[in-house]
Amino acid sequence: MDTTVDLDTFSSLVERPDDSARHAAEERWQQLDKPRGGLGQLEELGSWLASVQGDSPVRPLTAAKVLVFAGDHGVAGLGVSRPGAPGTAQRVQAVLDGTAPVAVLAHRYGAEVRVVDLAVDAIPGTFPAEVEHQRVRRGSGRIDVENAISLDEAAQAFRIGTAIADEEADSGTDLVLLGDLGAGSTTVAAVLIGALCGTDAAAVTGRGSGIDDRVWMVKCATVRDAQRRARPVLGDQLALLAAVGGADFAAITGFLLQSAVRKLPVVLDGVVSAACALVAQRIAFRAPEWWRAGQASGEPAQAKAFDRLTLTPLQDLGVSMGEGVGALLALPLLQAATDTLADPAEVLRIQRVTAGPKEPPRLPTAAELLGRG
């Protein structure tokens, strides 16, 4: 199997969003019956969506998908996560069962959820075949003392990510809400962001799953040691992902780049997707124009990455649990932006198709209630 990846091609393949569609959207905003700038942030979002769609009037969002990449990390064995926190396999199962917060909210907002197991530390057959058939390995190495994965595994995971981007673009997905699941993943993200930004470990090490001061000091030392291992390979992004990333990080990076190639907009979630976006920016500097930051999670590394990417979070909610919850909570804003800016007839048509016949529940009247007394 050929596992080589030519990263240089992405820089030339990623185009800028359509400026003419953006300008047309901005003119359309001025023509609407409203005060100038009266819709605030929705106006910028609508214009951005017009530019990534390459069309004006913008098309309403009707096929958003939450995409969750899952993988465990060897550094979790050092105790860098909150004791007693649910394991990755358990959390993935909750998403599949529809009981996890991301599944509940996705149902509420009309988005599909897809989970991809890249490196969950679980026996084969734990999840349905469509979830785990692309697993690269079980877990990863301890990045403070060894490589997370081999270079071949990094290339394999990267290619899986690009293939998933093609699948989503070809299936008609019009917006991806990017999520992640994995024990130790915020530690890995802090290492990558700290190394790429040249920042001290303490400045990028956050509380992750809700750790106390003692665990934070362990996590900080782990980030520091892993950053030392990252320095020799900072100029080679695939080698960097193999050394201090993991299969899920490599797949997300590949997905982000190929999504930009395929002109598929992506909303980033927490510190993990921010770290992968930072790696992807090193490969194709125009790629961040196809992304938006869903929300600020409160992780210091995420803030540094978004600053380097010149992305401003749409909301400041402090949601740090991963799964794509933070990105998903931005979906109503993006839907509001497109619905307000789109052709009203098209919005009405879609609402009629998606609403369907519904019988409202009959509630007792006040007279009936009082009569029962």
Residue 212 confidence (pLDDT): 80
- The secondary structure of 49-112 as a DSSP string is HHHHHT-SSPPPP--EEEEEEEE--GGGGGT-S-TTPPPHHHHHHHHHHT-SHHHHHHHHHT-E
Range of the domain at 178: 64-336
Q: Examine residue 156 and state whether it is found in any structural domain, yes or no.
A: yes
Q: Examine residue 23 and state whether it is found in any structural domain, yes or no.
A: no
Phi-psi group of 161: left, alpha or beta (phi > 0 → left; psi -120 to 50 → alpha; rest → beta): alpha
Residues marked as catalytic: 323
Q: What pLDDT digit, counting tens, does each position of 335-364 carry?
A: 999 998 887 766 666 666 665 555 666 777
Asked if the model's pLDDT at residue 230 lies above 90, the reply is yes
Q: What pLDDT digit, counting tens, does each position of 117-142 carry?
A: 999 999 999 999 999 999 999 999 99
Q: Examine residue 50 and state whether it is found in any structural domain, yes or no.
A: no
Average pLDDT over residues 203-226: 84
Give the residue with greater pLDDT, 74 vs 79: 74
Q: What pLDDT digit, counting tens, does each position of 261-299 carry?
A: 999 999 999 999 999 999 999 999 999 999 999 999 989
Residue 367 confidence (pLDDT): 73
Quick check: bond before 57 cis, omega within 30? yes
Mean pLDDT value across the chain: 90
Residue 52 confidence (pLDDT): 97
Least confident of 65-69, 72-76, 123-127, 354-358: 354-358
Least confident of 13-17, 42-46, 268-272, 350-354: 350-354
Give the residue with greater pLDDT, 82 vs 151: 151
Report the alpha-carbon distance of residue 170 to residue 328 in Å, rounded.
22
Asked if the model's pLDDT at residue 108 lies above 80, the reply is yes
Q: Examine residue 196 and state whether it is found in any structural domain, yes or no.
A: yes
% of the chain exceeding 90 in pLDDT: 72
Q: Examine residue 133 and state whether it is found in any structural domain, yes or no.
A: yes
Please indicate, yes or no, whether the overall pTM of this predicted structure exceeds 0.85.
yes
Q: How is residue 120 written in tokens?
A: 């969950």
- Stretch (H or E) spanning 323: none
Residue 1: pLDDT band (50, 70, 90) is very low
% of the chain exceeding 70 in pLDDT: 91
Residue 223 confidence (pLDDT): 93
Give the residue with greater pLDDT, 359 vs 36: 36
Count of domains forming the chain:
1
Q: What pLDDT digit, counting tens, does each position of 159-171 carry?
A: 999 999 999 999 9
Asked if the model's pLDDT at residue 206 lies above 90, the reply is no
Residue 256 confidence (pLDDT): 98
Q: How is residue 283 written in tokens?
A: 């490969």
Q: Examine residue 106 and state whether it is found in any structural domain, yes or no.
A: yes
Q: Examine residue 2 and state whether it is found in any structural domain, yes or no.
A: no
Q: Examine residue 367 and state whether it is found in any structural domain, yes or no.
A: no
**Strand locations in the chain, DSSP E?**
64-71, 112-119, 175-181, 266-268, 291-293
Q: What CATH number does residue 75 fall under?
A: 3.40.50.10210
Q: How is residue 77 written in tokens?
A: 């064995």
